[in-house]
Chain A
Amino acid sequence: MKAKKRVVTYGKGVPPSRGAASSPAPKTHRTPTVRTIRSAIVEPRSAPPPRPASSAARPVGQPVAGPARSAVDLSVDLGRGLVLRNPILVASGTFGYGVEYADVVDIQRIGAICCKGTTLRPRQGNRPPRVTETPGGMLNSIGLQNPGVDAVLERYATQWAGWQVPVIVNVAGESIEDYVGVVRKLDLVPGIAGVELNISCPNVGKGGLQFAIDQEAAAAVTRAVRRATELPLIVKLSPNVADIRPIAAAIAAAGADALSAVNTLSGMALRADRSGPFLGNTYGGLSGPAIKPVALRIVYEVAQVVDIPVIAIGGVTGLDDVLDYLAAGAVAVQVGTAIFADPTLPVRLVDQLATECGRRGLASYELLIGTALPTRPNAASSKGVEYRP
Chain B
Amino acid sequence: MQLVDAELQESRQVLPGQWLQQYHAPALAVSARAGQFVHLRTGDWSGLVLRRPFTINTADPATGAISLHFREVGRGTAWLSRLRPGERIDMLGPLGQGFQVDSRSRHLLLVAGGLGIADLRLLVDEALRDGRQVVLLYGCRDASEVYPSSLLPDEVEYLVATDDGSVGHRGFVTDLVLDYEAWADQAFACGPLPMLRTLAGLVAGRKGRLGVATLGRKRGGGRSVPPGSPAARKKAFLQVAMEQNMGCAVGACLGCVIWGVNGPQRVCREGPVFAFDEIDWDATAGAATHKR
Contact = CB atoms under 8 A, between A and B. Distances in A.
A130 B291 contact: no
B48 A133 contact: yes
A130 to B, nearest CB: 5
Contact of B257 (A94, A125, A137): A125
| Chain A interface, >50% SS class | loop
A209 interface: no
Contacts, number: 117
B248 A288 contact: no
B185 to A, nearest CB: 32
A340 B248 CA distance: 5
B259 A96 contact: no
Interface stretch (A138-146, A361-369, A381-389): A138-146
Q: How large is the interface on B (under 10, 10 to 19, 20 to 34, 35 or more residues)?
A: 35 or more
Contacts of B246: 131
A131 B244 CA distance: 9
B46 to A, nearest CB: 10
B72 to A, nearest CB: 15
B287 interface: yes
B253 interface: yes
Contacts of A116: 252, 254
Nearest to A144: B254
A154 B100 CA distance: 30
B247 A272 contact: no
Given A104-B2, A131-B247, A145-B257, A94 B50 contact: no
Interface in A101-149: 101, 103-104, 116, 124-125, 127-133, 135-138, 140, 142, 145
B47 A135 contact: yes
Contact of B290 (A95, A145, A271): A271
Contacts of A131: 50, 245-247, 253, 255-256
A289 B247 CA distance: 15
Nearest to B52: A133
A128 B257 contact: yes
B264 A125 contact: yes
Contacts of A94: 248, 252-253
B287 A128 contact: yes
A124 B260 CA distance: 11
B49 A104 contact: no
B287 A127 contact: yes
Interface string A296-336: 00000000000000000000000000000000000000000
Given A128-B289, A131-B245, A340-B50, A100 B3 contact: no
Contacts of B218: none
A140 B251 contact: no
B290 A138 contact: no
A43 interface: no
Interface string A224-236: 0000000000000
Interface of B: 1-3, 41, 47-51, 92, 244-259, 263-264, 283-284, 286-287, 289-292
Q: What 10 pairs across the A-B complex have the smallest Cβ distances?
A: A96-B252, A131-B255, A100-B252, A271-B290, A103-B1, A288-B49, A100-B250, A130-B255, A145-B254, A131-B247
9 contacts: A127-B283, A128-B259, A128-B284, A129-B289, A133-B49, A140-B255, A272-B291, A272-B292, A343-B3
Interface of A: 93-97, 100-101, 103-104, 116, 124-125, 127-133, 135-138, 140, 142, 145, 271-273, 278, 280, 288-289, 337-344
